Amino acid sequence: MSAEPFLLLAAALFCVGLFGALTQQSIVMLMMGLELMLGGVILAAATVWRHFAPATADGQVLIIVAVTAMALEMAVGFAVVTALFRSRETDMTDMAAELKE
């Protein structure tokens, strides 16, 4: 199978995630959009590795590190959102913007 369908799927995931990240005001939905974008990047990286350098294990290690980083990012992000919601009872980006002051 060629790399084109996988790269098209990766581009579609990235575009849907970008749309979600730019249009949503809920922090959780924003994080979901970012995760879709990272999933598209990981799928593109896996496709490039599989079709252009399948003999090396470098691509597998890169993908495992990226998926681990995604999981850690989501855990930390949800912990921050939970703490923000408990302290100020807000889950919208506009209401959380006052934290930088």
Q: Where are the alpha helices (DSSP H) in the chain?
A: 4-23, 27-52, 58-88, 93-96
Q: Which amino acid is present at 74?
A: M
Give the pLDDT confidence score for residue 22 in this predicted structure: 92
Residue 81 pLDDT greater than 90, yes or no: no
Give the pLDDT confidence score for residue 97 in this predicted structure: 63
Query: Quick check: 44 and 67 in contact, CB under 8 A?
Result: no
> Is the full-model pTM beyond 0.75?
yes
- CATH number, domain containing residue 20: 1.10.287.3510
Give the pLDDT confidence score for residue 89 in this predicted structure: 76
Please count the structural domains in the chain.
1
Here the tokens at position 40 are 């598209």
User: By residue range, what is the domain housing residue 52?
Assistant: 3-100
Q: Please write the tens of the pLDDT for every residue from 34-59.
A: 999 999 999 998 898 888 877 777 77
- φ, ψ dihedrals at 91, nearest 5°: -135, 20
How many Cα atoms within 13 Å fall on the side-chain side of residue 92?
4
